[in-house]
């Protein structure tokens, strides 16, 4: 996944997740890796007339009690750690993506 | 199989790459900058017409609206995000 | 006054390039420079009419393109072949750039003090 | 044991995709799954011999690709046409994948529980 | 410019700047915008066997006393502010890129 | 003019896009994934041979080494980062 604002991937992933929930699907997990980890940064502060991508995600995670995992290796490389990670997101290992691939009926990747 | 293409066909090979591997009869969803491939009257319109005879081609309505694209070629089906989820229900998904 | 140019060559919204390009045009205008704007390749799609962000909330920058003349930015050009390849005509656009041919592009770039491609 | 596959389709180093793909292969191996690896398009360039990062310090992942068999990852495939287009032959590569044709790709994807394209 | 690690643009820009200094050129300014602002994050913590892109930049800025400007609007959108910005980098407006375009004999952009 | 191309010509149109606008006789530097265009024996080798007769084509040595590309086509010149700086001294630069 690519970074929020830089590419549309974060917006598309958010809209898709919201639509899947609206249709009654269970979302096992949203896994953020590569530049996608930047979605979790609580310091994100876009212009007032633009959408706030991080807040959109946090609200979705909390309202629907979904597991949002931020890949630890990708996060460290990009300066994302516990001090800046927002509510609704948890740091986890890449193995949690493999677990998702083992368990999930469907897996959709939003890439640049 | 559902193939997702999100790059402009005028700038990236990902649409053509996808077609090399996609089995005839499978589904292709154009979204993000991929939606430009659905515009009528472009230099790739003939190519797209032949693709629509071999594949089920869809285009994401929300990304068309955002980009001011309101006409699409015959043989391509408009879906919204709920329709996108529906396609994923029915198919494994490859993101190109 | 320095001659500066911003070239738009990528599709809007998939990437942030056209948004950032537009921000740069406005800043150059505020610095009172001799600014040119050029649309080539997928950049011609950045000024399509009818953009509607109501279903995604992604910031729509069409109104800002429409306001360029109000910022005294009047040297606006577009590549003919790039429009034709995409089936786009001047009536489809929110502004009316002057149509140029591809072989004029490098000359325009050379005339600038500096330029950016977005 | 789930059938999982990682597909490499981008050139190495320009983007982080092939590096992340490789990390995923290793993790899947550690979870003791039935892992396949497939190289198509520019992905065939990710396993070229002779990579040398001494002048840039960018992490060279060739040694890890060479070690895949040691991790019991033995189902490794490569698309013939993708090699031909790039003038690359099996002797140019650090591992020796099984050569397949393009029409086998979607079938291989369908056989998996899930797969990733990098 | 694109983000460090995700794309090679940050590495290329660093190698180019270093080579230009080695040839005796004066670097007026390095301007970080779009995802390039992420180069300035002091929380960046890559794996031990990989290069540390932020530290490379900081050392180059300090040793050669070069102006490294991080675009404020791009930074805020991506969660980069004074609390995470590393030594050698300063936050500045997009106008400083225009100033660079007005003054510099040569301007090179490293993009994805 | 110096034109910088950093995308793989097998995946992106940026090399061909650049050629549409670049005046004959100008310089093109292939770097990052752009260096793959300099490999001999590829499907675009004939195209590149005709480009080298109209333009001065350079390829960045450090990015070749990183990618294990050690052969380049006749008519293309290898430069290192110092050579890259030299090309920028002599030319305005367009990044595609």
Pick from D53, D50, D51, D42: nearest CA to D11:
D42
Contact: E102, C20; criterion CB under 8 Å:
no
In chain E, pLDDT over 90 holds for what percent of residues? 97
pLDDT of residue E2: 85
Chain C nearest CA to E42, separation (Å): 24
pLDDT of residue E36: 97
pLDDT(E1) > 80 = no
For chain D, give the number of residues. Answer: 118
Most D CBs within 10 A among E3, E4, E8, hence the mutation to make, goes to: E8
What are the tens digits of pLDDT across the range C63-74?
999 999 888 999
What are the tens digits of pLDDT across the range D27-82?
999 999 999 999 999 999 999 999 999 999 999 999 999 999 888 999 999 999 99
- Beta-carbon pairs below 8 A across chains A and E: 80
What are the tens digits of pLDDT across the range E56-70?
999 999 999 999 999
Q: What is the DSSP letter of E86?
A: P
Chain F nearest CA to B11, separation (Å): 5
pLDDT of residue C69: 86
What are the tens digits of pLDDT across the range F43-74?
999 999 999 999 999 999 999 999 999 999 99
> Residue A30 to residues A16, A40, A50, A104: CA-CA distances in angstroms?
11, 12, 23, 11
What are the tens digits of pLDDT across the range F3-42?
999 999 999 999 999 999 999 999 999 999 999 999 999 9
- Give the active site residues of A: 71
Chain A nearest CA to C31, separation (Å): 22
Task: Confirm or reject contact between E55 and chain A (CB < 8 A).
Answer: no
- D contact chains, 3+ CB pairs < 8 A: A, B, E, F
Task: Confirm or reject contact between C55 and chain B (CB < 8 A).
Answer: yes
Give this complex's ipTM. 0.97
What are the tens digits of pLDDT across the range C75-91?
999 999 999 999 999 99
What average pLDDT does the segment C4-24 reach? 97
Chain D positions in Cβ-Cβ contact with residue E7 (cut-off 8 Å)? 14-16
What domains does chain B contain, in order, with CATH numbers?
A: 2-95 (3.40.1260.10)
- For the domain A9-103, what is the CATH code? 3.40.1260.10
Most B CBs within 10 A among D78, D101, D110, hence the mutation to make, goes to: D110
User: Please, are residues A7 and E78 in contact by the beta-carbon 8 Å criterion?
Assistant: no
What average pLDDT does the segment E64-83 reach? 97
Q: What is the mean pLDDT of each run of 10 residues along chain B (96 residues)?
A: 98 98 98 98 98 98 98 98 98 98
| Fold (topology level) of D3-117 | Hypothetical Protein Ychn; Chain: A, (3.40.1260)
Task: Confirm or reject contact between D117 and chain B (CB < 8 A).
Answer: yes
E63-68's contacts with Cβ under 8 Å and 24+ in sequence apart are: E64/E21, E64/E27, E66/E17, E66/E27, E66/E29, E66/E30, E67/E28, E67/E29, E67/E30, E68/E29, E68/E30, E68/E32, E68/E40
Pick from A72, D12, F84, F72: nearest CA to E8:
D12
Mean pLDDT for all residues in chain C: 97
pLDDT of residue D40: 98
pLDDT of residue A2: 85
pLDDT band at C96 (very low <50, low <70, confident <90, very high): very high
Q: Residue F8 has which token pair?
A: 């793989």
pLDDT of residue D23: 96
Angle of CA points F47, F73, E14, to nearest 5°: 100
What are the tens digits of pLDDT across the range E89-102?
999 999 999 999 99
- What residues of chain A score a pLDDT lower than 50? none
């Amino acid at each position: 996944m690519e970074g929020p604002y830089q590419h549309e991937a974060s917006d598309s992933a958010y809209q898709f997740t919201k639509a899947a929930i609206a249709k009654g699907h269970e979302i096992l997990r949203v896994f953020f890796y590569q530049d996608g980890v930047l979605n979790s940064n609580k310091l994100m502060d876009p212009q007032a007339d633009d959408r706030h991508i991080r807040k959109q995600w946090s609200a979705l995670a909390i309202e629907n009690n979904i597991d949002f995992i931020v890949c630890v290796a990708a996060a460290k490389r990009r300066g994302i750690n516990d001090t800046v990670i927002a509510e609704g997101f948890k740091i986890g290992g890449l193995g949690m993506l493999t677990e998702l691939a083992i368990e999930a009926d469907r897996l959709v990747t939003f890439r640049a | 199989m559902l193939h997702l293409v999100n790059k402009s066909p005028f700038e990236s090979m990902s649409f053509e790459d996808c077609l090399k591997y996609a089995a005839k009869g499978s589904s292709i969803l154009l979204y993000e900058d991929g939606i430009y491939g659905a515009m009528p009257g472009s230099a790739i319109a003939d190519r797209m017409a032949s693709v629509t005879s071999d594949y089920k081609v869809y285009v994401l309505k929300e990304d068309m609206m955002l980009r001011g694209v309101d006409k699409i070629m015959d043989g391509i089906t408009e879906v919204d995000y709920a329709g996108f989820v529906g396609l994923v229900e029915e198919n494994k998904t490859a993101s190109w | 006054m320095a001659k500066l140019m911003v070239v738009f060559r990528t599709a809007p919204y998939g990437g942030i390039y056209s948004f950032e390009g537009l921000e740069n045009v406005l800043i150059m205008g505020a610095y009172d420079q001799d600014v040119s704007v050029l649309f080539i390749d997928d950049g011609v799609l950045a000024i399509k009419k009818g953009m509607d962000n109501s279903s995604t909330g992604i910031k729509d920058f069409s109104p800002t393109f429409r306001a360029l003349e109000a910022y005294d930015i009047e040297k606006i050009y577009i590549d003919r072949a790039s429009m034709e390849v995409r089936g786009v005509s001047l009536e489809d656009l929110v502004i009316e750039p002057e149509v140029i041919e591809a072989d004029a592009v490098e000359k325009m770039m050379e005339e600038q003090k500096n330029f950016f491609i977005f």
